[in-house]
Homo-oligomer: A and B are copies of this chain.
Amino acid sequence: MSLVLAPRAISLTEGVYERLRADLLACRLAPGMKLKIADLAAETSVSIGLVREALSRLAAEGLVAMEAQKGFRVPSIAVDDLKALTEARIEIEAVCLKLAIARGDIAWEADIIAAFHRLSHVPERAPDDETRLSDDYAAAHTRFHAALVAACDNAWLLKTRETLFAQSERYRRLSVPMQNPIRDVDKEHRAIMTAVLARRVDEAIEATRAHLTATMTILLGSGLCD
């Protein structure tokens, strides 16, 4: 777990929040694990109140589970939840893509191409830990998918999309043997990009559906949970 607070953080709470969020998304905090407020406060050398505030915010986003009088814990991962999450993401991404393709301009197209280029040149795994996705790759992946829908230009839809994307990040980054030789993720991304840039809505949605479904299937197949 990263012990240093991001320096750009304006407030301490914000710093705690961001640190916890990053650790959650990267699965550095194990699913199901209890989050002891006092311990977290000690690790971050910050008061209990601030940790509570950060955890409350994360709970509102669904990134931690909160139970009255019992405190907080990392949400456990579950097959059914992954299925529901994937279904939701397919639908929301479709909506965002539809609007983005209708509204996108040249700058939007350029951003997509740039993000794709970056993504395909970042190594998937960190040199020190072959079993997990690297933070850099995850960031590039996030940016690519965000770029695709950026022109959607509806703050509510984009925020919703981001929330769900973050959720699935936890599943994606779980330490599973992901060296699936059959799959060519780069190709899947390229297929989505091509359809989007050509403004073929149905094809873009279908490619996205295939992409998300494939990810889910691999995770399910690897005896992920339950």
Contact = CB atoms under 8 A, between A and B. Distances in A.
Interface of A: 10-11, 13-14, 49, 52-53, 56-62, 68-69, 81, 84-85, 87-88, 91-92, 95, 154-157, 159-160, 163-164, 167
A43 B127 CA distance: 56
A11 B160 contact: no
Contacts of A88: 154, 156-157, 160
B11 A68 contact: yes
Given A57-B57, A88-B156, 18 more contacts: A11-B69, A13-B56, A53-B53, A53-B56, A57-B59, A58-B60, A60-B61, A81-B155, A84-B155, A84-B156, A84-B157, A87-B157, A88-B157, A91-B157, A156-B164, A156-B167, A160-B160, A160-B164
A205 to B, nearest CB: 12
A192 to B, nearest CB: 20
Contacts of A163: 160
B57 A14 contact: no
Contacts of A84: 154-157
17 contacts: A10-B68, A13-B56, A53-B53, A53-B56, A57-B59, A60-B60, A62-B159, A81-B155, A84-B157, A85-B156, A87-B156, A88-B156, A88-B157, A88-B160, A91-B95, A92-B95, A156-B164
A98 B30 CA distance: 35
A11 B91 CA distance: 36
Nearest to A13: B56
Contacts of A69: 10-11
B154 A87 contact: yes
Contacts of A11: 68-69
Contacts of A91: 95, 157
Contacts of A95: 91-92, 95
A56 B11 CA distance: 13
A51 to B, nearest CB: 11
A140 B217 CA distance: 41
